[in-house]
Amino acid sequence: MDISSLVREAQDRGLNLADPEENVFLADLVDGKSDFAYKVGDTVFKCEPWIFSLYANKLRSHCYHCLRRPDIAEDQEIRRCMGCRFAGYCSENCQIADWKNRHKPECAILKGIIADKRLESEGNLDRLLVLLKIMTKLKRKEKGSAPGDCTPESPRTFDDLMSHEEEFLDLRPELKESYLVLKPYLDRADVEKKRKICPDFPTFIRLLGKFYINNFALYDLQHPNVVAVGRGIYLGPSILDHSCVPNALQVDVGKTVTIKVIRNIDKAENVRIAYISPFDLLENRKSYLEKRYFFTCDCPGCADPETIAKRNAMKCSNCATSIPLGAENLRQCSKTPACPQCNKTNQEAFHRALKSLAELRAFIVESKLNDKNTRKRSQDDIRALMSTACEVLASDNFVLGVAHHDAASRLLTLSGNLNEGMEHLLAAVSIRREHVRDYCYHPCFLIVKWLAQQERFMEAFALIAEVGDYFRLVVGENSQMYQAWIGNVFDL
């Protein structure tokens, strides 16, 4: 059975999925305007990496060259390079291709590297793997991609990338220590050449800074939870700016990065991807973008007062309509806002909504902390917090959506209470869909599986069809994403 028969089956049961009103992902597709620079599903870039690197902690499980997980038994070792016994491959083809273009110059340097205990500390091995690849490219004087590596062709070179080296070092003082550990290896990589690629600490910081600010994460899409397995520099797409309400999306097939349009876009220069999860609190996104990428986001979700007020909306206690809460409402001692529908005010409900918003924020911040003690909160606390929030806040309140997501993971890990956790995950998805719709799919496979177990087939069908439609229409029927979705659904 494929997606279209599932859709038919769902329709037979009275669910009209073809109706764009019912399916927000189809709404842009049926928009008849022709003067868009890009329409939903269009490809903005298709690009091979300038350099890429598998995460050090994936060396045992994933191919060093194609980043795929080879089909081997648990107790079987991945095929290793005989020279360094370090790089692992899924096949002879990958090993040969990697040797020719990438691995040969670094192989001798990586020999025996596992024994160096200093490389085990946070990030050192990953930094070395990335730097060796950058140095190889620069030694060959390859500052840009080869023709055809990127469509449309991009004139960008590695020299064009920003490094923000001073801010970068301020934020990561541990890099001084890291440099001392890595220096002997970098010197060996530089040794035969007159022109040294990484001769000193400032160059080390500049090369790493360029990498950290501009890299794209690469994912294992065969994994139901879509885990990141490596990173790469993609010179064409690295020109794209960020938005927390993105209109384009990174789609991977192996290490090829494709940027696809998820909303109709009026002008080519307005294409925006999300560098970070757009589904986080405004203050968290803002501080992370400033710290990690050195800019202040001016997207609608961060800077448009109307959007922000909608994202904080409370529920009218009289008619349940959403009442947006703008900055003027969120200030202390502000006037109680009136409902736009019934025009009634309710001071008590307003104060409860403000209190609930503040509590949800504290809960979300706390959920990010890894320290178990600060996360000490009983299941009953979480239940009480969420049930008040659902009562007093608008049903599409963005903060509530983030809290639903965190409540799901906290309840699932706290108690293994699957049903309660999954209800929160489902609620999180339906709010994400309203604000950052493309970002609602990652947990959907788990949800579909759970719905099926609960014999809630109508909801399962609707979600399968919605996600399937989205992947097929936006990402393409031949994409790894769509195939992985179909594959996972069939495995149910």
Q: Given the rule CB under 5 A, which residues bind Zn ion?
A: 63, 65-66, 81, 83-84, 87, 90, 94, 107, 244, 297, 299, 301-302, 316, 318-319, 321, 339, 341-342
Q: How near is the Cβ of 490 to Zn ion at its closest, in Å?
A: 24
How far apart, in whole angstroms, are the C-alpha atoms of residue 314 and residue 395? 8
Q: How near is the Cβ of 313 to Zn ion at its closest, in Å?
A: 12
How far apart, in whole angstroms, are the C-alpha atoms of residue 191 and residue 125? 20
Nearer to Zn ion, 339 or 429 (CB): 339
How distant, in Å, are the alpha carbons of 79, 194, 211 from that of 161? Answer: 35, 25, 9
How far apart, in whole angstroms, are the C-alpha atoms of residue 337 and residue 325? 8
Q: How far is C-alpha 87 from the geometric centre of its chain's CA atoms?
A: 26
Phi, psi of 88, deg, nearest 5 = -115, 145
User: Which of 78, 53, 204 is closest to 130 using CA atoms?
Assistant: 53
Q: How near is the Cβ of 98 to Zn ion at its closest, in Å?
A: 8
How far apart, in whole angstroms, are the C-alpha atoms of residue 21 and residue 129? 49
How far apart, in whole angstroms, are the C-alpha atoms of residue 400 and residue 404? 6
What dihedral do alpha carbons 479, 483, 485, 487 form, nearest 10°? Answer: -170
How far apart, in whole angstroms, are the C-alpha atoms of residue 472 and residue 25? 11
How distant, in Å, are the alpha carbons of 65, 80, 317 from that of 52? Answer: 9, 19, 54
Q: How near is the Cβ of 476 to Zn ion at its closest, in Å?
A: 22
Q: What b-and-e string marks burial along 447-475, b requiring 16 or more CB atoms within 10 Å of the CB?
A: bbbbbbeeeeeebbbbbbbbbbbbbbbbb
User: Which of 452, 459, 388, 379 is closest to 420 using CA atoms?
Assistant: 379
